[in-house]
Structure 1
Amino acid sequence: MFRRRRREQSEAAESVAPAEMRESGPWDSAEPHPESDRIDLGGLRLPSADDLDIRLAMVGDQPVGAIVLHEESALQLHAFAAPKTSGLWDEARTKISAAVKEAGGSLEQQDGPFGPELAGQVNSEGSLERVRYIGVDGPRWFLRAVISGRAAMDEKVAARLEDVIRDVVVVRGDDPMAREESIPLRKPSDNPAQTDEQETLNPFKRGPEISETR
């Protein structure tokens, strides 16, 4: 668990009037965005709050995503590099729907607070569980969010996790990256005492949304 708060200073916000900011994120690190307590994971900066339990999704020793736990629910966040000229969410919805269907689940497209999203059931270890897939196309990046657990059915709980998505900052960086390559994450530099058990623990382990690596 990552509990320690870090005060993030937005360099861009210092020189741009607040009126020029968008109303909500996810934010690109290069654009004006509100100063807030956020946990720095390298490619992602996530809001920190007492009611949120933030952990890392690991493949071996490499962090590939973040998991936010809240009231018997999980929000999984993964950031990928995207082309300059087009986003990935339209294409990703088709791939995700096909993968879930092949695994014995089903998803339908619906309108959500971030635009088109997928909602339905995934096959998790032989049982069907409700999920929502949310995608946001940014400047040269794509953020995929998966909501599962109680929040997939409870709008009040879901609203808290949607607020988390709105306050995420994506740090794409200037290095060349392949299309759909995961934006690198790191363990919080201000939390050196974290144990491997804490970082890899994932009580909401499920099918395509966790096991998929790019």
Structure 2
Amino acid sequence: MGLFDIFKTPEEARPKADKLVVPGEEVEELDDTELEEPDFDDSKCAPADRAERGPFDSEEATLEGPMVDLGSLRIPAREGMGLRLEVEEKTKRLVAVALDYRESTVQVQAFASPRSTGLWNRIRVQLAEQVEQQGGTARELETDLGIELETRLPLMAGAPNGAYRAARFIGVDGPRWFLRAVLSGKALHDEDAAREVEELFRSIIVVRGDRPIPPRDLLPIQIPEAMAQQLGK
């Protein structure tokens, strides 16, 4: 697989951190008014060693070597990694980055967040509710990356009875940003693959910038220079 592939995703006017997106599947989105507003802890949720081991803020990162610069995201290039950019159908806006690595896929999005409070504790509850309302299951897992959400969603109509798509949702609250990942593939059931993909996730650098952006709004993703040259942009 080449370094850059572009494929389209279901259209969404303003991508939000609490919208349910699973790589490779078109998932029905629920109206926010259908979701309950439970009490939640608004403290930041992140690994205790995040600043040392990642995911990093651009002001913390000391990583060396070639990087793929995507604007709000910088990802160290590594052998065997495929990178795909997910594009909104109508506006052609880049809305997510999918990294294919070790027979797994990690879909990554960075969002604006408040300086002193976090988003993941609340968003995790809302994502779980969306999964359950669509006939799936969701349970929380305690991992080195914090509290994750393990989900199973029924496949679309026509699939064998009982067939489902599994995914893990990972969320990390950083300084004025929230990084969300959806993990699928081999890493869901293979410890070695999971460890390698989690290390890849931890190597990501988030560039928040100084521009005012409402909390939960997607941070802008840009086409890398090498790709822009290929496309003649």
TM range (shorter): 0.7 to 0.9
Contact 2:99–2:107 under 8 Å retained in 1: yes
Q: Which amino acid aligns with 1:136?
A: V
Matches within 5 A, 1:55-204: 55-60=84-89, 61-126=92-157, 127-194=163-230
- C-alpha distance in 1 between matches for 2:229 and 2:51: 37
C-alpha distance after superposition, 1:25-49 (max 9, x if no partner) = 1000122422232200001011211
**SS of match in other structure, 1:55:** strand
CA displacement at 1:178 relative to structure 2? 0.6
Please give the root-mean-square deviation of Cα atoms over the aligned residues, in Å.
Answer: 1.7
Q: Which amino acid aligns with 1:154?
A: D
Contact 2:113–2:215 under 8 Å retained in 1: yes
The answer for unaligned runs of 5 or more in structure 2 is 5-49, 158-162
The answer for unaligned runs of 5 or more in structure 1 is 4-20, 196-214
CA displacement at 1:166 relative to structure 2? 0.8
**SS of match in other structure, 1:183:** coil
- C-alpha distance in 2 between matches for 1:46 and 1:79: 13
- C-alpha distance in 2 between matches for 1:133 and 1:28: 20
Q: Which amino acid aligns with 2:121?
A: D
Contact 1:27–1:33 under 8 Å retained in 2: no
TM-score by length of 1: 0.78
CA displacement at 1:105 relative to structure 2? 1.1
Corresponding residue number in structure 2 for 1:10: none
- C-alpha distance in 2 between matches for 1:176 and 1:157: 38
Q: Which amino acid aligns with 2:74?
A: R
Identity of aligned residues (%): 36
C-alpha distance after superposition, 1:34-72 (max 9, x if no partner) = 223220000101121111101111113111110011233
- C-alpha distance in 2 between matches for 1:102 and 1:170: 32
C-alpha distance after superposition, 1:98-137 (max 9, x if no partner) = 1111112111001112111111312332431221111000
Corresponding residue number in structure 1 for 2:3: 2
Runs (4+) of structure 1 exceeding 4 A deviation are none
Q: Which amino acid aligns with 2:223?
A: K
- C-alpha distance in 2 between matches for 1:27 and 1:128: 33
